[in-house]
Amino acid sequence: MIDIRLLRSAPDEVRSALARRGDDAVLHHLDTLITLDASLRDVTAERDGIRAKVNDLSRTVGQLRRDGKVDDASRLQDESRELGLREEELAAEHDRVQGEIRNILLVVPNLPNEQVPEGGSDADNPVVSGPFLPNGGEDGFAEHQRVPHWDIGVALGILDNERATKIAASMFTMQRGAGATLARALCQYALDLNADAFEEVRPPTLVSTATLTSTGQLPKFADDAYAIERDDLWCIPTAEVPLTSIYAGEILDHAQLPARFMAYSPCYRREAGSAGRDTRGMLRAHEFDKVEILAIATPEQSPDLLVEMVGRVERMIASLGLHHRVIEICTGDLGQSHHRSFDVEVYAPGCGQWLEVSSISWFSDYQARRADIRYRPVGEDSKPVKGTALAHTLNGSALAVPRVWAAILETHRNPDGSVTVPEVLRPYMRGIEIIGG
């Protein structure tokens, strides 16, 4: 969430930054926050003033009783009781207003970085790297590559969504044989490629409400999440959720940063708003596998980390022989928690469209404020300075299986209908170099 103190000290700057998102509802929330915050400070001042007066009266009553002035003491006790009732009213009002402020802060989006390009929707997202396509365009693909992966997968016996639906429900997928091996190979490859800098973690895939709130999924995306109401737990939509909260409520030493984690996990998304959109094959599913990379850093470390993480994902996609590009997310398309964000997209010739396969984002202190992740800063002499500061968080989809899996089938399909396995994945494929060959 944003810093309410920044809103107090620089309301015009905060309003100007959030206005770049192009959402009038956000500006209305800001106006409400400013009003509520002023009310909270008034209530707090009156409550604290009454508390001080009650304390003074208590000391005076004690002195009067010691002096034998019982009547005067009783009169002041009556006054103290009346003030106590008013203090209770103000305390309740304080808690109510504070609760309203927190609820609004949970839905107010992050301030965009000043370098985020202007735009109103995803149509305005600029390409910042690529596209890297055969012959410079989509027409460089051969006819045998223009078959959608759902037909390729069925023909090769490696995709069986019909039975997945029978087992679970629609929009669940099932890979079989070499298809399942390919999915696992992608995950292991992503883990191995990032093991030089990121600690592997196997986090819980069921998390508490507080954990899901820390990353910004709640309350906004409650309808897209799978809830286990009996236990007040949620299925994670991404490993970003548990990884972000590893240090929740803790204070880290400066030397521990950046802390880097990576995790393979299944991911669960109800995709409530996507009915009828991209529901064939592997493009959109309720459950899928993904490898996530995440960093907790200082504000100074974060810009370079963002560049590094984007580069890691782009190099991985390139190594799979997939035609790709990198786009930067504009102000009007920026996610609620995002400070700055890039997507890596691959072109799937069978589907005839660009597919987002990774989103790499810098959240500034937005998530850390929710999760209360702090660190001890150091001065120019590298010695600790007084106090603590909120950390910054960054995360990226190192490799999300479904769309990469789909793009591999379409891009590497051969004229005879078989699919050539990218060379970098062959060490994980139990000797399979061609699927269906």
- Cβ atoms 225, 215 nearer than 8 A: no
Q: d(Cα 8, Cα 383) in Å, to the nearest integer?
A: 31
- Per DSSP, which regions of 276-391 are E strands? 287-297, 324-328, 340-348, 353-362, 374-376, 389-390
Tokens 């190594």 belong to 319
Q: What DSSP string runs through 116-150?
A: SPP-SSGGGPPEEEEEE-GGGSGGGS-GGG-S-HH
Is the pLDDT assigned to residue 272 strictly greater than 70? no
124 vs 51, 132, 296, 297, 337, CA distance in Å? 55, 20, 30, 30, 19
> Lowest-confidence range among 51-55, 102-106, 345-349?
51-55
If you average pLDDT over every residue of the chain, what do you get? 93
Where does 302-344 have alpha helices with state H? 302-319
Predicted local distance difference test score (pLDDT) of residue 77: 85
**Nearest C-alpha neighbor of 280 from the set 191, 154, 186, 388:** 154
Instruction: Name beta bridge partners: 207.
Output: 234
pLDDT digits (tens, 9 = 90+) for 171-217: 999 999 999 999 999 999 999 999 999 999 999 999 999 999 999 88
Instruction: Name beta bridge partners: 392.
Output: 297
- In 3-state terms, what secondary structure has residue 233? strand
- Cβ atoms 205, 240 nearer than 8 A: no
Predicted local distance difference test score (pLDDT) of residue 412: 97
Instruction: Name beta bridge partners: 295.
Output: 260, 394
Rg (CA), the chain: 28
Q: Provide mean pLDDT across the span 293-319.
A: 98
Is the pLDDT assigned to residue 320 strictly greater than 60? yes
Identify residue 417 by its one-letter amino acid code. G
Pairing of strands 251-253, 374-376: parallel
**What band does 420 get if pLDDT is binned at 50, 70 and 90?**
very high
**What band does 72 get if pLDDT is binned at 50, 70 and 90?**
confident
**What band does 278 get if pLDDT is binned at 50, 70 and 90?**
low
Please tell me the CATH superfamily of domain 4-105, with its number: Serine-tRNA synthetase, tRNA binding domain (1.10.287.40)
39 vs 11, 93, 308, 338, 349, CA distance in Å? 16, 10, 44, 29, 58
Please tell me the CATH superfamily of domain 122-435, with its number: Bira Bifunctional Protein; Domain 2 (3.30.930.10)
Is the pLDDT assigned to residue 384 strictly greater than 90? no
Query: Is the previous residue joined to 131 through a cis bond, with omega within 30 degrees of 0?
Result: yes
Predicted local distance difference test score (pLDDT) of residue 137: 56
pTM above 0.85, yes or no: yes
**What band does 413 get if pLDDT is binned at 50, 70 and 90?**
very high
Higher pLDDT: 215 or 424? It is 424
Identify residue 345 by its one-letter amino acid code. E
**What band does 306 get if pLDDT is binned at 50, 70 and 90?**
very high
Domain segments of the chain: what residues? Answer: 4-105, 122-435
> Lowest-confidence range among 18-22, 163-167, 220-224?
220-224
Predicted local distance difference test score (pLDDT) of residue 275: 53
- Cβ atoms 238, 246 nearer than 8 A: no
Predicted local distance difference test score (pLDDT) of residue 356: 96
- Cβ atoms 318, 324 nearer than 8 A: yes
Predicted local distance difference test score (pLDDT) of residue 106: 92
Write out the two tokens for 418: 């078989």
Write out the two tokens for 141: 């693909």
pLDDT digits (tens, 9 = 90+) for 96-143: 999 999 999 999 999 999 999 999 999 999 999 999 876 555 568 999
**What band does 35 get if pLDDT is binned at 50, 70 and 90?**
very high
Is the pLDDT assigned to residue 437 strictly greater than 80? no
- Cβ atoms 319, 422 nearer than 8 A: yes
Edge-to-edge order in the sheet of strand 324-328? 127-132, 324-328, 340-348, 353-362, 392-400, 287-297, 259-268, 199-200
Is the pLDDT assigned to residue 274 strictly greater than 80? no
**What band does 382 get if pLDDT is binned at 50, 70 and 90?**
confident
DSSP 8-state secondary structure symbol assigned to residue 113: P
Q: d(Cα 97, Cα 37) in Å, to the nearest integer?
A: 8
